[in-house]
Structure 1
């Protein structure tokens, strides 16, 4: 495998979809490791300036307003950069509301970003994929490794469209590597949570909704019997994975970046309740008609050992500590919403 390492110190990085939970955390990580400049590219349709408020005024950070559907915007933003992190995407809830827009951004938007990287001779791209590439439904069980196939039976169309769009994004990266020699690493994120959490990811939303209900004195809700498996990864661990993907000699690879261990819905609700200072017992409810929920067929584990072998990465923050940090942020001045 050729050495595709891109050191952070002294180099310039573009984060496409940078005004986001992962984008802001990664920007901080890159700046802390000596990046010469970090350019956050975002149209602020889903991201927000609040997400990067803690970085405002940093002399090596620049926010560029632009749209991934406009190639000239990306071409200009990528000028002089050495690496790019591709985050911009519609997630499942947004895909459910606007599938055409989601497919445009998740496919053509990725293609535009890769073309801007090629045209500006960037040395390396890191693409944010998802464990959604394994699909949903009864076929998703056991150990999910990088070669596990895509399962779609019984899952909501928006979830399948999202997962399929990430598979296409990964293959576009492979195609640019094959045709143009563009080095890349694909990271298949589990559901991300942590400080500056938003209300857009279907599974991470469950954490926030549970916390909000407890704060209002309402019973948290558990769908079904609470035995469904969820996989989360703390945003700080993921920011470190993004950095290490640039620094690694690896190229033309895709690896899982999951948290230390899966958690059931019932365990998650009880943990949030405990860390929020206690609250009423949860109520078990049926599905709400028309609401997109991401379900699995049973117990499964998203293996991250390959990321350890390829990148030297493994998650460090367990669910209890990550939720403690998230709740502390929610209760801080910065986290309080009007």
Structure 2
């Protein structure tokens, strides 16, 4: 029997938990909820991938509680979820981690989601926001054109770890859907495109293009582009995603899945040139190199665009930060961080 309460959750005065809160998107989401007046935000993380550095700027806020826990341990989730209005679930193995340890990755990405859903039901959480991925569309030459929420999954020729990751996200979405249909658990699934921004982690294969390029340019080396540079990637700035998480909680939407992508796609060659330009070396022309067959890397195949019109209709969200502006902020943050380290 479905619950009668509204799926809209008021942020001001509300109590929330961000699972995977010590991550890139997690720390930004905690910030966003605090900025909008949340009375309490519990930051749940086992710190296997999350970093205490990513949350050092927010843990002094008296409204923040850091909970060290594991989503594979249901009793820990049940205890942490008591008395909350909403949960944002971000914890997951990504492709590079999945390649190193696929069994644990599948447990985290599937059983972990089931545990989160069970905690939501048991603790009567009003709304769950689940972070999925554009990996649900797959990889390869068939992935092209506008990718919308009904685009099917393509797997031919992709690295196994990438397929395992994408498939695990599809299953996670369906676990949420099943809980809504059977028990009325309100949820919104946000399919993130590749995230970048301040406090960037190093688990996202595509985002590594950004940091590797800046590092090479700073050392005076030509940045490398794998292939001919025509591969398309669609990034989204971390602040825009934090806002999407908050808006999904606030919205009347439930039982929906929407893309949350950046303003426009970019080719690998355009990206590397832009990073070089923002790093003060627009003259540093990228070097084209052949792919390393032994290295996991996520190729898109054809030119594509991840359409986010459905997110505007469902939760009122659209990206605001351009790739150039977002990269400018991210690279400046990296420079400041390195300067602090060198002075310590």
TM-score by length of 1: 0.98
* Pairs within 5 Å for 1:73-84: 73-84=76-87
In the alignment, structure 1 residue 231 sits paired with structure 2 residue 240: no
In the alignment, structure 1 residue 173 sits paired with structure 2 residue 176: yes
Matched position secondary structure for 1:55: coil
State the superposition RMSD in angstroms. Answer: 1.3
In the alignment, structure 1 residue 308 sits paired with structure 2 residue 312: yes
What do residues 139-190 of structure 1 show as CA deviations (whole Å, max 9, x unaligned)? Answer: 1011100000000001000000000000000000001111111100000000
**2-structure distance, mates of 1:141, 1:204:** 20
Q: Is the 8 A contact 1:220 1:283 kept in 2?
A: yes
Partner residue in 1 for 2:284:
280
Partner residue in 2 for 1:294:
298
Partner residue in 2 for 1:197:
200
In the alignment, structure 1 residue 9 sits paired with structure 2 residue 12: yes
Aligned length: 338
Partner residue in 1 for 2:164:
161
Structure 1 position 268, deviation (Å): 0.2
Q: Structure 1 unaligned runs (5+)?
A: none
Structure 1 position 289, deviation (Å): 3.1
Structure 1 position 281, deviation (Å): 2.0
In the alignment, structure 1 residue 245 sits paired with structure 2 residue 256: no
**2-structure distance, mates of 1:170, 1:128:** 9
Within the candidate set 186, 191, 200, 1:188 is matched to 191
Structure 1 position 337, deviation (Å): 5.5
**2-structure distance, mates of 1:274, 1:61:** 39
* Pairs within 5 Å for 1:1-338: 3-278=6-281, 280-333=284-337
- Runs of 4 or more consecutive aligned structure 1 residues displaced over 6 Å after TM superposition: none
TM-score by length of 2: 0.96
Matched position secondary structure for 2:54: helix
Q: Is the 8 A contact 1:14 1:78 kept in 2?
A: yes
